[in-house]
Amino acid sequence: MSLIAKIFGGGGKGGKAPTTQDAIQRLRETEEMLSKKQDFLEKKIDLELATAKKYGTKNKRGALQALKRKKRYEKQLGQIDGTLSTIEFQREALENANTNTEVLKNMGFAAKALQGAHQHMDIDKVEDLMSDITDQQELAQEISDAISRPVGFGEEFDEDELMAELEDLEQEELDKNLLEIQETDDVPLPSVPSTSLPARPAKKKEEDEDDFSELEAWAAN
């Protein structure tokens, strides 16, 4: 059974091993699906963070529950990152295997040409070389399988760590409110006019001038 058949479980009675192209296409579809899952989890994390900020210490229980959900989503996101790395490794291995298949075909063609030119070619050495290549490919697959095994995760969270994060969120909101108040206090007052007001005319002086004119008029008569 070939190495590719061992990976995907094909090659048995009544079964046919998938082609490398089919396997590569399926892995790419899986990568796309997991990438969408990543986007979904990132939005959920942002939502729970906003909820924790909204509740704050006024609703401590609700805020802590939101932070716990955020932690779970972050853990799932980390697992998806690891799975995507494994899938990428497998896809690259398949692409390399597909290339190697073409290379081996060309090597076989060249080997036939060499067989006619070199009758005393050492076949045992060639078989040993190909055996070493196969062993290395199987070792790489074993490493890939070990990395891709799912790892269980629990629901335990450090309450002190969650409270510290909640206090940081509260302090961030307080700092923001203080900054807004300071900006409001800095509004400038209207300036005082620099020009002086017009002086009020002296009424008594006008009355004295009228009396003097009346006296001159009487003296003239």
Tell me which of 192 and 105 has the higher pLDDT.
105
pLDDT at 3: 42
CATH homologous superfamily of 19-168 equals ESAT-6-like (1.10.287.1060)
pLDDT at 187: 54
Instruction: Inform me whether the pLDDT recorded for 202 exceeds 60.
Output: no
Instruction: Inform me whether the pLDDT recorded for 30 exceeds 90.
Output: yes
- Of 160, 162, 139, which Cα lies nearest the Cα of 62? 162
pTM for this prediction? 0.45
pLDDT at 37: 95
What six digits make up the tokens of 20? 């490398």
How distant, in Å, are the alpha carbons of 54, 76, 124, 158 from that of 59? 9, 26, 76, 19
- Residue 163 CA, chain-centre distance (Å), reads 24
pLDDT in tens, 162-190: 888 888 888 888 888 888 887 666 555 55
Q: Quick count: other Cβ atoms within 10 Å of Cβ 12?
A: 10
Q: Quick count: other Cβ atoms within 10 Å of Cβ 48?
A: 21
Q: At which residue do the structure tokens 């942002």 appear?
A: 46
Q: What is the 3-state secondary structure (H, E, C) of 70-101?
A: HHHHHHHHHHHHHHHHHHHHHHHHHHHHHHHH
pLDDT in tens, 54-76: 988 889 999 999 999 999 999 99
Q: Where does the pLDDT of residue 120 fall: very low under 50, low under 70, confident under 90, or very high at 90 and above?
A: low
Task: Parse the chain into domains and list their residue ranges.
Answer: 19-168
Instruction: Inform me whether the pLDDT recorded for 216 exceeds 70.
Output: no
